[in-house]
């Protein structure tokens, strides 16, 4: 059943939802990346909650003029208007008062959402009796999606992607270093507004599929996930689009394959699954990689200390050190150094002396700064320099008893 769904074999509506969701996921992931890199991820929370009063007002207006209150384009227009009002309030509060951005986000989202709920109850009592569709905007509802709705989402997603393609460079610059961008003459606040405008567009387009509470997840989670895999911003953008699209596609297919699996939450949980995998297994930034790095470092320290102890004829009691030395063929089972071990130990001790010379000599200041007790001296100095240092140290001396 799930295979059928993934191959778009579950009928017209399911296919429509899957394609629409994928487009939305891609554009949300790409847009969210800039928000995340700018460290303003939760602004999307305020924007999405601020859409509710607009949706309700648009419905009331359209219904009271005798039209169909559920015209998607009208509702989306209303939501865009009230989201921009919310965004304006948010910017005004952070700029003109002492409130920090998090407090401004919280107040905008709660007040707009509260007002939206007041309007929802007004609609319930208006006696129009056809308001069932509106609650779908809270958590998304894909059951009755029409061709026209899918087209709105597709066109919205495509326009968003195109705009991002056009202004991706200034947006990246502002995200990384707003002061530098301002010094270069870029209009930082306008670019910030453009990012927010794109976020708003994605939010509005996504209302129908995942709903206003969960669209935040589509904006934040793919970007955070992508950040684990690469250090390059353009790759983060591409990966975030990929992860967003993938989780939306698989999520939509899964929700179509069985009853009682609402699309929005499944998509969010899918993207969280991708996030979890990345958090654990990503190279370099992942948890597993960090643990492996730690163990590798621990082994290097133990081996080094063990060799120095061998060179100075001190007994070694530490189990891990002994095991590592034995495994490297440096000591025999009874703890006596092999020939190879003696050679390595002598080299380690000599390197230590070489480092001591390097660190006491002002002319080697740059090289000395790299000393951490583990670094090979050959990776810092040339053969000639090392030969010069060896001349200063002189030949092998007897170890003092």
Partner 1 sequence: MSGEEFVPLSLTPLLIGIFAAVACALPGNFLLLRKQALIGDAISHVVLPGIVVAFLLTGAITAGPMMLGAAGAAVVAVVLIEAIRRLGRIEPGAAMGVVFTTMFAGGVLLLEQTDTSAVHLDVEHALYGNLESLIWLDAVGWSSLLDAQALAHLPVELPRMALTLLAVTLFIALFWRVLKISTFDEGFARTLGIRTNLLGLALVITAAVAAVAAFDAVGSIIVIAMFICPPAAARMMSNQLEGQVAWSVGFAVLSALLGYILAGYGPLWLGAQDAVSAAGMIATVSGVILAIAARFGPCRNRSGAPVGV
Inter-residue contact 222 to 29 (CB < 8 Å): yes
Q: Which is nearer to partner 1, 223 or 311 (CB)?
A: 223
Closest distance of CB 395 from partner 1, Å: 49
The yes or no reply on residue 135 touching partner 1 (CB under 8 A) is yes
Q: Where are the alpha helices (DSSP H) in 65-146?
A: 72-96, 101-125, 132-139
From candidates 74, 133, 178, 262, binder to partner 1 by CB under 8 A: 262
Is position 110 an interface residue for partner 1 (rule: CB under 8 A)?
yes
Question: Is residue 9 involved in binding partner 1 (CB under 8 A)?
Answer: no
Q: Provide the angle, in degrees to the nearest 10, between the axes of the packed helices 72-96 and 147-176.
A: 20
Piece of 42-50, 72-80, 185-193, 314-322 that binds partner 1 (CB under 8 A): 42-50
Pick the binder of partner 1 from 4, 8, 71, 115 (CB under 8 A): 115
| Tokens representing residue 161 in the block | 């992607």
User: According to the binding rule CB under 8 A, does residue 364 interact with partner 1?
Assistant: no
Which residue in the set 268, 311, 337, 348 belongs to the binding site for partner 1 (CB under 8 A)? Answer: 268
| Minimum CB–partner distance for residue 208 and partner 1 (Å) | 16
Using CB under 8 A as the binding rule, whether residue 322 contacts partner 1 is answered as: no
Question: Which are the contacts of 143, defined by CB distance < 8 A and separation ≥ 6?
Answer: 13
CB 200 within 8 A of CB 44: no
Q: Which one, 26 or 93, has the nearer CB to partner 1? A: 93
Q: Does 224 help bind partner 1 (rule: CB under 8 A)?
A: yes
Instruction: Tell me how far, at minimum, the Cβ of 362 lies from partner 1, in Å.
Output: 36
Cα–Cα nearest to 120, from 69, 167, 60: 60
Q: Where are the alpha helices (DSSP H) in 312-338?
A: 319-327
129 Rama class: left (phi>0) / alpha (psi -120 to 50) / beta: left
290 HSE (CA, 13 A, CB side): 7
Q: Which of 11, 67, 114, 313 binds partner 1 (CB under 8 A)?
A: 114
Residue 164 interacts with partner 1 (CB under 8 A): yes or no:
no
Among 64, 97, 298, 314, binds partner 1 (CB under 8 A): 97
Nearer to partner 1, 92 or 147 (CB): 92
Q: Find the binding residues for partner 1 in span 10-39 (CB under 8 A).
A: 36, 39
Please tell me whether residue 227 binds partner 1 under the rule CB under 8 A.
yes
**Nearest approach, Cβ of 100 to partner 1 (angstroms)?**
5
Q: How far apart are CA 85 and CA 57, in angstroms?
A: 13
Q: Which of 26, 40, 78, 170 binds partner 1 (CB under 8 A)?
A: 40
* C-beta of residue 281 within 8 angstroms of C-beta of residue 288: yes
Q: Which is nearer to partner 1, 87 or 120 (CB)?
A: 120
Residue 85 near partner 1 by CB under 8 A = no
Q: What contacts 226, CB < 8 A, 6 or more positions away?
A: 29, 33, 235, 236, 237, 238, 239, 240, 242, 243, 278
How crowded is residue 64: how many other Cβ atoms within 10 Å of its Cβ? 11
Closest CA to 165 of 237, 249, 223: 237
How far apart are CB 282 and partner 1 at their closest, in Å? 9
> Of 6, 8, 19, 42, which one interacts with partner 1 (CB under 8 A)?
42
CA distance 289 to 202: 34
Pairwise CA distance, residues 390 & 368, whole Å: 16
Separation of alpha carbons 62 and 370, rounded Å: 70
Answer for which of 23, 75, 93, 194 binds partner 1 (CB under 8 A) is: 93
Q: With contacts defined by CB under 8 A, how many residues of the chain interact with partner 1?
A: 62
Establish if 220 lies at the interface with partner 1 (CB under 8 A). yes
Report DSSP letters for 152-219, one per residue: HHHHHHHHHHHHHHHHHHHHHHHHH-HHHHHHTT--HHHHHHHHHHHHHHHHHHHHHHHHHHHHHHHH
Interaction of residue 86 with partner 1, rule CB under 8 A: no
Of 105 and 324, the one with the shorter C-beta distance to partner 1 is 105
The region of 217-225, 237-245, 375-383, 386-394 touching partner 1 under the rule CB under 8 A is 217-225
Contacts to partner 1 by CB under 8 A: 36, 39-42, 44-45, 92-93, 96-100, 102-107, 109-122, 125, 135, 138-139, 213-214, 216-217, 220-221, 223-224, 227-228, 260-262, 264-266, 268-269, 272, 275, 279, 285, 287, 290
């Amino acid at each position: 059943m799930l295979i059928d769904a993934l191959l778009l074999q579950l009928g017209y509506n399911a296919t429509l939802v899957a394609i629409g969701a994928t487009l939305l996921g891609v554009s949300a992931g790409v847009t969210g990346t800039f928000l995340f890199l700018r460290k303003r991820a939760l602004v999307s929370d305020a924007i999405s909650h601020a859409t509710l009063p607009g949706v309700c007002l648009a419905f009331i207006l359209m219904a009271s003029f005798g039209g169909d209150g559920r015209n998607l384009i009208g509702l989306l227009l209303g939501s865009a208007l009230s989201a921009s009002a919310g965004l304006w309030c948010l910017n005004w509060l952070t700029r003109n008062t002492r409130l920090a951005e998090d407090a401004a986000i919280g107040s905008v989202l709660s007040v707009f959402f509260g007002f939206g709920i007041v309007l929802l109850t007004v609609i319930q009592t208006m006696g129009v009796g056809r308001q069932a569709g509106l609650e779908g905007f809270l958590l998304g509802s894909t059951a009755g999606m029409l061709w026209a709705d899918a087209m709105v989402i597709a066109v919205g997603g495509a326009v968003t992607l195109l705009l991002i393609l056009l202004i991706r460079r200034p947006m990246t610059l502002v995200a990384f270093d707003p002061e530098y961008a301002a010094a270069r003459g870029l209009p930082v606040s306008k670019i910030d507004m453009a990012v927010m405008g794109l976020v708003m567009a994605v939010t509005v387009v996504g209302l129908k599929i995942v709903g206003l509470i969960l669209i935040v997840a589509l904006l934040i989670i793919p970007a955070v996930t992508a950040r684990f895999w690469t250090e390059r911003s353009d790759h983060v953008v591409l990966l975030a689009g990929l992860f967003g699209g993938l989780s939306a596609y698989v999520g939509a297919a899964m929700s179509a394959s069985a009853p009682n699996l609402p699309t929005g939450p499944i998509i969010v949980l899918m993207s969280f699954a991708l996030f979890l995998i990345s958090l654990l297994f990503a190279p370099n930034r992942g948890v597993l990689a960090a643990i492996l790095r730690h163990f590798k470092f621990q082994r290097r320290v133990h081996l080094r200390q063990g060799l120095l102890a061998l060179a100075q004829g001190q007994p070694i009691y530490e189990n891990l050190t002994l095991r590592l030395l034995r495994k490297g063929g440096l000591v025999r089972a009874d703890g006596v150094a092999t020939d190879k071990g003696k050679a390595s130990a002598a080299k380690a001790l000599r390197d230590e002396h070489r480092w001591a010379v390097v660190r006491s000599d002002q002319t080697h200041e740059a090289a000395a700064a790299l000393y951490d007790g583990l670094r090979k001296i050959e990776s810092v100095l040339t053969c000639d320099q090392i030969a010069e240092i060896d001349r200063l140290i002189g030949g092998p001396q007897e170890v003092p008893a």
